[in-house]
Structure 1
Amino acid sequence: MTRYLLASCGGAGLLYLLLGLLPVQALTKSEVLDSKLVEKSSEKLVIAKKENRHEIITNNGGVLPHKLKNQPVIGNNKQDSSVLSQKQENRNIELNSAPNSSLQIYPTSANSSQISNKIAQVTSVSQLSDVQPTDWAFQALQSLVERYGCIAGYPNSTYRGNRPMTRYEFAAGLNACLDRVSEIIATATTNLVTKEDLGTLQRLQEEFAAELAALRGRVDTLEAHTAELEANQFSTTTKLNGEVIVAAIGATGGSPGTDDPNIILTNRVRLNLNTSFTGKDLLITGLQSYNFLGGLDGRGSLQESLGLASPLLSASSARTSFEPQFPGIDVKTLSDVGANDVELYKLLYIFPVADKLTLFAGTAAEVSDAFPAITPFYGEGQESISRFGNLNPVVRVSGGTSGSGLASAVGFIFNISNQLDLRALYGSVNANIPQNAPDILPGVSGTPLGSGFFGGSSVIATQLTFRPTSSIDIGLNYANSYHEINILGTGLTSSDIGALAGVSLGTPVKLNSFGGTVTWRFSPKIALSGYGAAIFVDDSARDVDASSTFTSWMVGLHFNDLFHQGNNAGILFGQPLYRTSADGDAELASTGVDRATPYHLEAYYRLKVSDNISITPGAFVLFNPEGDSRNDTTTVGVLRTTFTF
């Protein structure tokens, strides 16, 4: 009878006891349901499903390096310019890095041994701390350990016998025990194996023959795929992604006496090399080219043809979301940039230094790289088609979203809690230039933005991001800027150049900018979003006393999965940047301007053709463009096609 009981324990008891044998260990404290990894505890793993792929991430930011993860991924699930944003729910650092702002890196990670616990062979059941003599299966486990030596435990000396396992796991464990029994028989050094044991094992082997064959086939397939990937991989540390935008743009209206411009066909191409040296850091190297024209005097730009651009650098409210702020020119040195010339637009390194603190630094960066976009309209290649609709103007101050990596910057991200984080940076435009060039205009040198890392034009910007509920996001912005010339540096209005109207261009200015953005997702597929901004401009010269105030606001509705899954739409209305007051030597408007409050109305619909291709038709209408009632109501239509890879 005793022999029969031992045989039963050694055979049927395998069904409950072989989890520790598995050569491919199940993920701790999680289970597989409908092909998804579902979290059972906040200690280790969560699953994020993005479109048609899964991402497995740890709560402290770790990433499982396997094929399900299409990493790296940097921000807000938009395919456009770079944003380093924080997902508070899982505390993952996300970089919305152009060209593919679903680029994300998770720099604070546990290593793979923390995620998938390796098994360790035990020689006595007493080595398993969670197995007690009173457990109902204690004798069966003791028999398998001491008679056959084919039971393994976890590195922390636990067996975890109560967790469920799949038939594949059982088949793998059974196979390990069969190999051990075969070894014992082959060596013929013991008579511990009985006929009853062999009979039971034979029946189990026959019953699970199909599962064993399937498991072997899966392992062979995985090994073949792994070998192929290793042979053809670009780099063990670097991932390549890209975005290509091709768009047709047409416009009508503009200033009196101008003809409607021809429809133009434009492109912007971006490639990102995303490198991680430790699995926790990220180095972004971005290249881009575009065929927008403009140069120093704006010649050849759509805005110049409409008569709605500033006399220098083509700043205008008629600008689309995906064109650079200074097309056709390197604003640092006023040198020309040819159509489709390749330039370095991003060089930024992000690295964690503590559980809640991450630092970043780079010589080609933008304010928007550090601050999460609160509004769902952000996405140069996927969402709003206008520069006005994408971001709060305070983020754009001082070239903060130039599209060409204008500044050298250093900063930090401090995760105060899951609902609150604080980010700040210092940026200097001409950090690589040691001396100012000679003047080309009175008070304006050939390096109009100054020189040196702590000299010339600079900005200190900060954002406090608050998520009081899962459906509400709030961002509060402040920026303190100094410019060696009289500009705002937003590219949003022709008044951007000559911010203090009636004061010479060579007058240095100080800017204090305040803004707030709110998004309320009042249903799963509809969000209400808006922003407000105020920019206070003061002279920074001894012989001038002048100040002005600019304001702007926007409100809109954003729709997810409209008419079809993956198709997004937006409709928004607001006031572009407008000079609302002027004191001292400053004027409210340039001579001849008939002041009137400008308004912006926009609608677009993004059609998702595939996971990698989208088409966005849209249009925006400008009422009283550039704050001048003499200008005709202007309509700009866009048909944008975006390819991502």
Structure 2
Amino acid sequence: MTSAAAPPDAEQITSISEFSDLRPTDWAYQALTNLVEKYGCVAGYPNGTFRGGQAMTRFEAAALLNACLDRVTEVTDTLKGLMAEFAQEMAVLKGRTDDLEAKAGLQEASQFSTTTKLSGLATLVVGGVSNNPAGERVTFNYDLQLNLDTSFSGKDLLRTVLRAANFDSDRNAFGSGLSTLEIAFQEEGGPDVVGIDKIYYQLPLGQSPIGGQFTATLGGRVGQEDMLALWPTAYPGDTILNVLTLNGAPLAYNKNLGPGLGLWWQDNGWSVSVNYVAGNGADSSQGLFSSTSAGTSTVQLGYGKENWGIAAIYSYVEAGVAVPGATPFITTQIEENDVTTNAFAISGFWQPSKSGWLPSISGGYGINSSSGGDLRTSQSWMVGLQWNDVLAEGNSFGMGVGQPAFASATTNGAASESGVWAWEWWYQWQVSDAISVTPAIFVLNNPEGKQAGGNQVGALIKTSFRF
């Protein structure tokens, strides 16, 4: 009933809850709520009832409709006044909206792909190394990576990495031994040639019967590290020396690259990874599973949370694998001789929840048993520290120290190579979200191992552009 249509004893109400005889289950409850809250044209009886089932005359119905229309007219007039008052602002907003729609349409029409995201990393490095066999020289090198990430379902991933660089062999100042930089991509087709660095497909397989999620990876050119559910370090992988980015175990975490397949399982921090990579698997004369495939078979058990993690790993390293972060003696034994290796390692990290005096700490230790040549056992380890927000927010300082894989026992009883050490110090200045400049120095003690050689000192400035 409206105030105009109500009998003399009716009273105007301001809330539907004032009616004692109305329930939310009544078929007209929502309609009455709207009339009360939006227009205030509903009245009730003094005893707090609405009497919705009571009959009404046509005069009462006309009065009810007239009262509500009067309120609607008031609201409409108010809206018209507001629209006139803010007409200029509304015109500006309409123009901006039209402009945004036009830009969105142009971007959609010219976008690279509806399923593929392109990201890139361009790195410039100028520096040199003392006591370099090729001479004490300073060189200026680059590395360019273009990552194409494609998803067909929103959950899967097809990753294609295009890459080109000019860190070919020993022509750059950092050589190809323990002084090799992490960014120093070795081009199969030669320097300054764009090639396929990686191409692989990852697909979640769903829940396992015991809980957790399975993910499968298959690729014609995939790295061992791409098929591990946990990379157990907080030390940046794009710092300076490659030997100090391998979790203290260069043979177990050898980043073998080639055709491969893998499977990992994850559940509440726990993970198990199993994978196989054949460095020569694309060569028909070598094959994918032959004795000359240069294969690495890996099993990793890990547990990781946001601020810490730990992993144990075992890798069976076949002859011919290009082992990074090892002395020349070990590299020659595995790559050129018929030597196979059982590599074991444990690695982990911890990082503070907030920036301060405490750094993130990463470390690892590896021990290996080889057969088939002069090498018998070898060891390696590393510790990496990183402080965030040093001198300015976003900047960081770090240092790493360790020993690459060195021979601790041989068939001929030769002395251990334990005198081989690697040190590095770096400071990353974050110029912007996309640009960083990293000056660094490093020291290598007896990097030639059994082949003897003086210490090396290197210095460089690395500039990275992310886009």
Structural RMSD (CA): 3.6
User: Is 1:289 the equivalent of 2:164?
Assistant: yes
TM-superposed deviation, 1:278: 1.6
Look up the match of 1:112. none
SS at match of 2:131: strand
Q: Distance in 1 between matches of 2:297 and 2:259?
A: 12
Q: Secondary structure at the match of 2:391?
A: coil
Q: Name the counterpart of 1:471.
A: 307
Select which of 357, 363, 374 maps to 2:232. 374
Measure the CA separation in 1 of the matches of 2:108 and 2:382: 49
Matched, 1:415 2:252: no
Counterpart of 2:197? Answer: 345
For residues 474 and 240 of structure 1, what CA distance do their matches in structure 2 show?
Answer: 32
Distance in 2, Cα, partners of 1:522 & 1:199: 58
> Structure 1: how far apart are the matches of 2:330 and 2:120?
31
SS at match of 2:206: coil
Shift of 1:520: 3.2
Equivalent AA in structure 2 for residue 617 of structure 1: P
Query: Mind listing any 5+ residue stretches in structure 1 that lack a counterpart?
Result: 7-11, 14-125, 146-189, 305-313, 331-336, 436-449
The residue that corresponds to 2:171 in the other structure is 300
Task: Provide Cα deviations, 1:471-525, integer angstroms capped at 9, x if missing partner.
Answer: 3222332212222x4x66224432332337xxx9432423333231223326435
Preserved CA contact (<8 Å) 2:234 2:351: no
Q: What are the Cα deviations for residues 621-642 of structure 1, in whole angstroms up to 9, with x where unaligned?
A: 1123333695333111111111
Which deviations, in whole Å up to 9, do the C-alpha atoms of 1:151-185 show, x marking residues without a partner?
xxxxxxxxxxxxxxxxxxxxxxxxxxxxxxxxxxx
Give secondary structure in 2 for the equivalent of 1:577.
Answer: strand
Counterpart of 2:50? none
Distance (Å, rounded) in 2 between the aligned partners of 1:461 and 1:142: 71
Q: For residues 414 and 507 of structure 1, what CA distance do their matches in structure 2 show? A: 34
Give the C-alpha shift of residue 289 in structure 1. 0.9
Task: Find the residue that maps to 1:562 and give its secondary structure.
Answer: coil
Relative to structure 1, the CA distance from residue 587 to residue 2 in structure 2 (aligned partners, 3 Å threshold; closer, same or farther) is farther
Given candidates 265, 272, 276, the residue that maps to 2:147 is: 272
Partners of 1:566 and 1:520 in 2: CA distance: 16
* 1:63-82 correspondence to structure 2 within 5 Å: none
Q: Report the 3-state secondary structure (helix = DSSP H, G, I; strand = E; otherwise coil) of the residue aligned with 2:444.
A: strand
Match of 2:391 in 1: 563
Q: TM-score, length-normalised on structure 2?
A: 0.77
Counterpart-to-counterpart distance in 2, 1:135 and 1:202: 28
CA contact (8 A) 1:394 1:479 kept: no
Name the aligned partner's letter for residue 236 of structure 2: Y
Q: Which amino acid aligns with 1:377?
A: Y
Paired residue for 1:425? 275
Letter in 2 for 1:321: E
> Is 1:317 paired with 2:185?
no
Partner residue in 2 for 1:47: none
Report the CA distance shift for 1:428/1:397 in structure 2 as closer, same or farther (over 3 A).
same
**1:578 maps onto 2:406 in alignment:** yes
Distance 2:378 2:4 in 1: 90
Match of 2:459 in 1: 637
Query: Per the alignment, do residues 489 and 595 of structure 1 end up closer, same or farther by CA in structure 2, a change over 3 Å counting?
Result: closer
State the 1:194 CA deviation: 0.7
For residues 29-53 of structure 1, give each alpha carbon's deviation from its aligned partner in whole angstroms, at most 9, with x where no partner exists.
xxxxxxxxxxxxxxxxxxxxxxxxx
TM superposition shift of 1:396: 5.7
Match of 2:123 in 1: 245
Q: Does 1:232 align with 2:110?
A: yes
The amino acid across from 1:499 in the alignment is Q
| Local SS of the residue matching 1:194 | helix
d(CA) in 2 for partners of 1:194 and 1:538?
A: 93
Give me the whole-angstrom Cα distance separating, in 2, the residues matched to 1:377 and 1:398.
15
Mapped to 2, the partners of 1:560 and 1:538 lie a distance apart of: 40
Separation in 2, partners of 1:249, 1:412: 40
Alpha-carbon distance between aligned partners in 2 of 1:511 and 1:229, rounded to the nearest angstrom: 53
Q: CA deviation at 1:3?
A: 4.8
How is 1:475-494 mapped onto 2 (pairs within 5 angstroms)? 475-483=311-319, 485=320, 489-494=323-328
Q: Distance in 2 between matches of 1:362 and 1:5?
A: 79
Q: Does 1:533 align with 2:365?
A: yes
Q: Secondary structure at the match of 2:109?
A: helix
User: Whole-Å Cα distance in 2 between the matches of residues 268 and 587 of structure 1?
Assistant: 42
Secondary structure of the 1:280 match is coil
Give 5+ residue unaligned stretches, structure 2.
7-13, 16-22, 39-64, 208-212
Q: CA distance change for structure 1 residues 136 and 344 in 2, over 3 Å: closer, same or farther?
A: same
Runs of 4+ in 1 over 6 A off after TM superposition: 134-138, 142-145, 190-193
Contact map agreement 2:443 2:457 (CA 8 A) in 1: yes
Q: Give 1:606's aligned residue.
A: 428
Query: Would the aligned equivalents of 2:446 and 2:454 in 1 still touch at CA under 8 Å?
Result: yes
Work out which of the residue numbers 57, 71, 96 in structure 2 matches 1:196.
71
Determine helix, strand or coil for the equivalent of 1:521: coil
Q: d(CA) in 1 for partners of 2:270 and 2:222?
A: 24
The match for 2:448 is: 626
* Aligned counterparts of 2:203 and 2:435: Cα–Cα separation in 1: 32
Counterpart of 2:329 in structure 1 is: 495
1:144, CA displacement in angstroms?
9.6
Secondary structure, aligned partner of 2:297:
strand
The letter of the residue matching 1:618 is A
Deviation string, structure 1 residues 306-339 (Cα, Å, up to 9, x no partner): xxxxxxxx4x211111113xx35x4xxxxxx321
Contact 2:406 2:417 in 1 (8 A): no
3-state SS, counterpart of residue 274 of structure 1: strand
Question: Does 2:347 align with 1:516?
Answer: yes
Q: Counterpart of 1:416 in structure 2: which amino acid? A: D
Identical-residue share of aligned pairs (%): 24
**Alpha-carbon deviation of 1:303?**
5.3
> Secondary structure of 1:358's partner?
strand
Counterpart-to-counterpart distance in 2, 1:547 and 1:630: 17
2:194 counterpart letter in structure 1: V
The letter for the 1-side match of 2:402 is G
Counterpart residue type for residue 460 of structure 1: S
Q: 1:234 to 1:363 in 2, by over 3 A?
A: same
Question: Is 2:401–2:423's contact at 8 Å kept on the other side of the alignment?
Answer: yes
Indicate how the Cα distance of structure 1 residues 412 and 266 shifts in structure 2: closer, same or farther if over 3 A, else same. Answer: same
Q: Which residues in structure 2 correspond to 1:216-231 (within 5 Å)?
A: 216=94, 219-231=97-109
Q: Which has the larger radius of gyration?
A: 2
Distance 1:641 1:624, change over 3 A: same
Distance in 1 between the 2:33 and 2:414 partners? Answer: 89
Question: Does the 8 Å CA contact 1:245/1:642 hold for their aligned counterparts?
Answer: yes
Q: Per-residue displacement from partner, 1:560-583 (whole Å, max 9, x unpaired)?
A: 12112221220222222221223x
Q: Which region of structure 1 is more displaced relative to structure 2, 387-396 or 366-375? A: 387-396
How many matched pairs?
A: 416
- Distance in 1 separating the partners of 2:219 and 2:368: 28
Q: 1:398 to 1:451 in 2, by over 3 A?
A: farther
Q: Deviations over 1:325-374 (max 9, x none)?
A: xx35x4xxxxxx32111211010111212142221111111012233433
Return the alpha-carbon distance in structure 2 between the equivalents of residues 507 and 641 of structure 1.
41
Deviation at 1:203, TM superposition (A): 2.3
The CA distance in 1 between the partners of 2:265 and 2:35, in whole Å, is 51
How far apart, CA to CA, are the structure 2 residues paired with 1:464 and 1:534?
A: 15
CA contact (8 A) 2:250 2:404 kept: no
Alignment of 1:43-58 (within 5 A): none
Q: Secondary structure at the match of 1:498?
A: helix
**Aligned equivalents of 1:191 and 1:414: distance in 2?**
69
Counting only pairs closer than 5 Å after superposition, residues 71-150 of structure 1 correspond to structure 2 as 139-141=32-34
